[in-house]
Chain A
Amino acid sequence: MLSNLRTMWLVFVHLFKKKATVQYPEEKNTLRPRWRGRIVLTKDPDGGERCVGCYLCAAACPVDCIALQATEDKDGRRYPEFFRINFSRCIFCGYCEEACPTYAIQLIPDFEMAEYNRQNLVFEKEDLLIDSQGKYPGYNFYKVAGMDAGVKKKGEGENEEPPVDIYSLLP
Chain B
Amino acid sequence: MPTIIIDNIPYQVKAGSNLLEACLGVGIDLPYFCWHPALGSVGACRQCAVKVFKDEQDNSGRLVMSCMEAIKDGIRISVQDKGAKAFREQVIEWLMTNHPHDCPVCDEGGSCHLQDMTVMTGHDYRRFKYKKRTYVNQYLGPLVHHEMNRCIQCYRCVRYYRDYAGGHDLNVFGAHNHVYFGREKDGILESPFSGNLAEVCPTGVFTDKTLKQHYTRKWDLTSAPSVCQQCSVGCNILAGERYGQLRNVLNRYHSEVNGYFICDRGRFGYEHVNNVNRIRQPIIRNLTVEAVDETTLLTHLQQVINNRNLIGIGSPRASVESNYSLMHLVGKENYYSGISEDATFIERKIVDILENGGIHTPSLKEIENADAVIVLGEDIWNTAPVMALSVRQSVMKTAAREAMTQISTPAWNDAAVRERVQEDRGYFANLAITESPVDEWSTHTYHSVPDNIARLAFAIASKLRPELPLPEGMPEADLQLAERVAGALENAKHVVVISGSGPGSETLVRAAYNIARAVQEKGKTAGLAFVLPESNSMGAAMMKAPSFDKALQRIRKENNTTVIILENDLYRYNSTTDVDQFLDTCKSIIAIDSLNTLTTGKAHVLVPAATFAESDGTSINYEGRAQHYYQVFMPANPCIKESWKWLWKMKSLMAGSANGQEHHPDEILKQIESSYPQFTGISASAAPADFRIYGQLLPREPHRYSGRTAMLANIGVSEPKPLDDGDSPFTFTMEGYQGLPPAPLIPFYWRPGWNSVQALNKYQQEIGGPLRGGDPGIRLFDRNDKVASWWFNDTPEAFAGRTGKWLLLPQYHVFGSAEMSRWSAALDFLTPQPCISISQQDAAQLGVSEGHMLTIETDKERFSLPVAVRSDLVQGVVLAPAGFQSIPSLAWGTWIKIMA
A78 within 8 A of B: yes
Partner of B132, one of A86, A159, A167: A159
Query: Which one of B97-105, B478-486, B493-501, B596-604 is at the A interface?
Result: B97-105
How far does the alpha carbon of A118 sit from the alpha carbon of B137 in the complex, in Å? 48
Q: Which residue of A lies closest to B104 (CB)?
A: A54
How far does the alpha carbon of A146 sit from the alpha carbon of B100 in the complex, in Å? 5
Interface residues of A in 85-100 (CB under 8 A from B): 85-86, 88-89
Decide if A145 touches B220 in the complex (CB within 8 Å): no
Query: What is the CB-to-nearest-CB distance from B177 to chain A, in angstroms, rounded to a whole number?
Result: 9
A47 within 8 A of B: no
Decide if A154 touches B136 in the complex (CB within 8 Å): yes
B133 within 8 A of A: yes
A107 within 8 A of B: no
Decide if B716 touches A162 in the complex (CB within 8 Å): no
Interface residues of B in 196-234 (CB under 8 A from A): 212, 214-217, 219-220
Query: Which one of A3-11, A14-22, A66-74 is at the B interface?
Result: A66-74
Contacts of A164 in B (CB 8 A): 133-135, 174, 178, 180
Partner of B710, one of A56, A84, A163: A84
Decide if B716 touches A146 in the complex (CB within 8 Å): no
B723 within 8 A of A: no
How far does the alpha carbon of A59 sit from the alpha carbon of B705 in the complex, in Å? 7
Decide if B217 touches A154 in the complex (CB within 8 Å): no
How far does the alpha carbon of A118 sit from the alpha carbon of B717 in the complex, in Å? 7
Decide if B175 touches A169 in the complex (CB within 8 Å): yes
A23 within 8 A of B: no
Q: A159-B132, A164-B180, A169-B175 are in contact. Are A78 and B105 (CB under 8 A)?
A: yes
A101 within 8 A of B: yes
Partner of A159, one of B109, B131, B243, B704: B131
A166 within 8 A of B: yes
Q: A55-B217, A84-B714, A122-B717 are in contact. Are A67 and B706 (CB under 8 A)?
A: yes
Decide if B105 touches A145 in the complex (CB within 8 Å): yes
How far does the alpha carbon of A56 sit from the alpha carbon of B105 in the complex, in Å? 11
B173 within 8 A of A: yes
B435 within 8 A of A: no
Q: Which residue of A lies closest to B212 (CB)?
A: A72
Contacts of B174 in A (CB 8 A): 164, 166-169
Q: Which residue of A lies closest to B245 (CB)?
A: A69
B38 within 8 A of A: no
A108 within 8 A of B: no
Interface residues of A in 140-155 (CB under 8 A from B): 141, 144-149, 154-155
Decide if A168 touches B178 in the complex (CB within 8 Å): yes
Decide if A53 touches B132 in the complex (CB within 8 Å): no
B709 within 8 A of A: yes
Decide if B215 touches A53 in the complex (CB within 8 Å): yes
Decide if B131 touches A161 in the complex (CB within 8 Å): yes
How far does the alpha carbon of A85 sit from the alpha carbon of B175 in the complex, in Å? 49
Q: A86-B709, A162-B134, A163-B136 are in contact. Are A145 and B100 (CB under 8 A)?
A: yes
Most buried by B among A59, A85, A160: A59
Contacts of A161 in B (CB 8 A): 131-134
How far does the alpha carbon of A68 sit from the alpha carbon of B243 in the complex, in Å? 10
Decide if B220 touches A147 in the complex (CB within 8 Å): no
Contacts of B217 in A (CB 8 A): 54-55, 59
How far does the alpha carbon of A114 sit from the alpha carbon of B102 in the complex, in Å? 38
Decide if A58 touches B707 in the complex (CB within 8 Å): yes
- Give chain B's interface residue range (CB within 8 Å of chain A): 35 or more
Query: What is the CB-to-nearest-CB distance from A3 to chain B, in angstroms, rounded to a whole number?
Result: 52
A121 within 8 A of B: yes
Interface residues of B in 667-711 (CB under 8 A from A): 704-711
How far does the alpha carbon of A167 sit from the alpha carbon of B184 in the complex, in Å? 10
Decide if A52 touches B708 in the complex (CB within 8 Å): no
How far does the alpha carbon of A171 sit from the alpha carbon of B713 in the complex, in Å? 57
Decide if B101 touches A85 in the complex (CB within 8 Å): no
Contacts of A129 in B (CB 8 A): none
How far does the alpha carbon of A82 sit from the alpha carbon of B716 in the complex, in Å? 16
Contacts of B280 in A (CB 8 A): none
Query: What is the CB-to-nearest-CB distance from B703 to chain A, in angstroms, rounded to a whole number?
Result: 11
Decide if A66 touches B710 in the complex (CB within 8 Å): yes
A131 within 8 A of B: no
A106 within 8 A of B: no
Q: A145-B102, A146-B100 are in contact. Are A119 and B717 (CB under 8 A)?
A: yes
Contacts of B180 in A (CB 8 A): 164, 166
Contacts of B704 in A (CB 8 A): 59
Q: A72-B212, A146-B102 are in contact. Are A67 and B131 (CB under 8 A)?
A: no
Decide if B104 touches A141 in the complex (CB within 8 Å): yes
How far does the alpha carbon of A162 sit from the alpha carbon of B131 in the complex, in Å? 10
A133 within 8 A of B: no
B439 within 8 A of A: no
A63 within 8 A of B: yes
Q: Which residue of B lies closest to A56 (CB)?
A: B104
Partner of A64, one of B178, B215, B707: B707
Interface residues of A in 42-67 (CB under 8 A from B): 52-56, 58-59, 61, 63-67
A124 within 8 A of B: yes
Query: What is the CB-to-nearest-CB distance from A79 to chain B, in angstroms, rounded to a whole number?
Result: 10
Contacts of B102 in A (CB 8 A): 145-147
B149 within 8 A of A: yes
Contacts of A118 in B (CB 8 A): 717
Q: A63-B709, A102-B104, A166-B180 are in contact. Are A55 and B220 (CB under 8 A)?
A: yes
Q: A52-B105, A162-B134, A166-B180 are in contact. Are A58 and B175 (CB under 8 A)?
A: no
B366 within 8 A of A: no
Q: Which residue of B lies closest to A60 (CB)?
A: B706
Query: What is the CB-to-nearest-CB distance from B201 to chain A, in angstroms, rounded to a whole number?
Result: 16
How far does the alpha carbon of A141 sit from the alpha carbon of B109 in the complex, in Å? 16
Q: A59-B219, A69-B243, A84-B710 are in contact. Are A121 and B135 (CB under 8 A)?
A: no
Decide if A154 touches B132 in the complex (CB within 8 Å): no
Query: What is the CB-to-nearest-CB distance from B496 to chain A, in angstroms, rounded to a whole number?
Result: 42
Decide if B101 touches A145 in the complex (CB within 8 Å): yes
Binary interface profile of B, 136-149, with partner A (CB < 8 Å = 1, else 0)? 11000000000101
Contacts of B783 in A (CB 8 A): none
Decide if B178 touches A58 in the complex (CB within 8 Å): no
Q: A54-B109, A119-B717 are in contact. Are A67 and B707 (CB under 8 A)?
A: yes
Query: What is the CB-to-nearest-CB distance from B733 to chain A, in angstroms, rounded to a whole number?
Result: 11
Q: A154-B136, A160-B131, A160-B132 are in contact. Are A146 and B706 (CB under 8 A)?
A: no
B159 within 8 A of A: no
Contacts of B135 in A (CB 8 A): 154, 163-164, 166
Q: A66-B707, A169-B174 are in contact. Are A144 and B109 (CB under 8 A)?
A: no
Contacts of A169 in B (CB 8 A): 174-175
B150 within 8 A of A: yes
Decide if B713 touches A146 in the complex (CB within 8 Å): no
Query: What is the CB-to-nearest-CB distance from B118 to chain A, in angstroms, rounded to a whole number?
Result: 15
Query: What is the CB-to-nearest-CB distance from B734 to chain A, in angstroms, rounded to a whole number?
Result: 9
Query: What is the CB-to-nearest-CB distance from A80 to chain B, in angstroms, rounded to a whole number?
Result: 11
- Residues in A lying within 8 Å of B, measured CB to CB: 52-56, 58-59, 61, 63-72, 78, 84-86, 88-89, 101-102, 118-119, 121-122, 124, 141, 144-149, 154-155, 159-169, 171
Contacts A88-B717, A160-B131 aside, 14 further interface pairs with beta carbons under 8 A come to A58-B706, A59-B219, A59-B704, A65-B713, A66-B710, A67-B707, A86-B710, A86-B717, A101-B104, A119-B717, A154-B137, A160-B132, A163-B136, A165-B178
A-B contact pairs, 17 of them (CB 8 A): A54-B103, A58-B706, A64-B706, A64-B710, A67-B711, A69-B243, A84-B711, A84-B713, A145-B100, A145-B104, A145-B105, A146-B102, A146-B134, A154-B134, A154-B137, A167-B173, A168-B174
A-B interface, 4 closest residue pairs, ranked by CB to CB distance from nearest: A146-B100, A67-B707, A54-B104, A58-B706
